[in-house]
């Protein structure tokens, strides 16, 4: 799976949009971009994933650049409960040996 690069930490004010960047310049055509988050002492929580097109769900939006070499996770109205480590992961679709390769992620801190 391709490697990802994320800033180690970010701050965001409560109520504002949090924009978390991720670089994945070696991504292959059949690799998805996944985002998970991990609130302190809990298991990782799935947020969103995409292949080429931008995606939106009730938690977040995922914007993938046209060349697919980077993406941005957007939390539209951050709350204190969004404080967590956010992981950007790329993985090949289709099953087989498909364990996720986590990096160190971005520690997002929402400030009151």
Partner 1 sequence: EAEVAQSPRYKITEKSQAVAFWCDPISGHATLYWYRQILGQGPELLVQFQDESVVDDSQLPKDRFSAERLKGVDSTLKIQPAELGDSAMYLCASRGLAQETQYFGPGTRLLVL
Residues in contact with partner 1 by CB under 8 A are: 32, 34, 36, 41-46, 49, 87, 93, 95-105
How far apart CA 96 and CA 78 sit, in angstroms, is: 36
Residue 90 Cβ vs partner 1, minimum distance, rounded to whole Å: 12
Q: Which is nearer to partner 1, 43 or 112 (CB)?
A: 43
CA distance 85 to 25: 22
In order of 31, 38, 107, the CA distances from 6 in angstroms are 18, 15, 10
CB of 80 to partner 1, least distance (A): 21
Decide whether 8 or 15 has the Cβ nearer to partner 1: 8
CA distance readout (Å), 93 to 29, 50, 72, 99, 101: 10, 11, 20, 11, 14
Query: Whose Cβ is closer to partner 1: residue 42's or residue 53's?
Result: 42
Bridge partners (DSSP) listed for residue 61: 56, 74
Closer of 12 and 48 to partner 1 (Cβ): 48
To partner 1, the closest distance from the beta carbon of 49 in angstroms equals: 7
């Amino acid at each position: 799976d391709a490697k990802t690069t994320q800033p180690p930490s970010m701050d965001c004010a409560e109520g504002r949009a949090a924009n978390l960047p991720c670089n994945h310049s070696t991504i292959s055509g059949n690799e998805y971009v996944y985002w998970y988050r991990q609130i302190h002492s809990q298991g990782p929580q799935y947020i969103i994933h995409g292949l080429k097109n931008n995606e939106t769900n009730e938690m977040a939006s995922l914007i993938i650049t046209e060349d697919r070499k980077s993406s941005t996770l957007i939390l539209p109205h951050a709350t204190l409960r969004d404080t967590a480590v956010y992981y950007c992961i790329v993985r090949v679709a289709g099953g087989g040996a498909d364990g996720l390769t986590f990096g160190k992620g971005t520690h997002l801190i929402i400030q009151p």
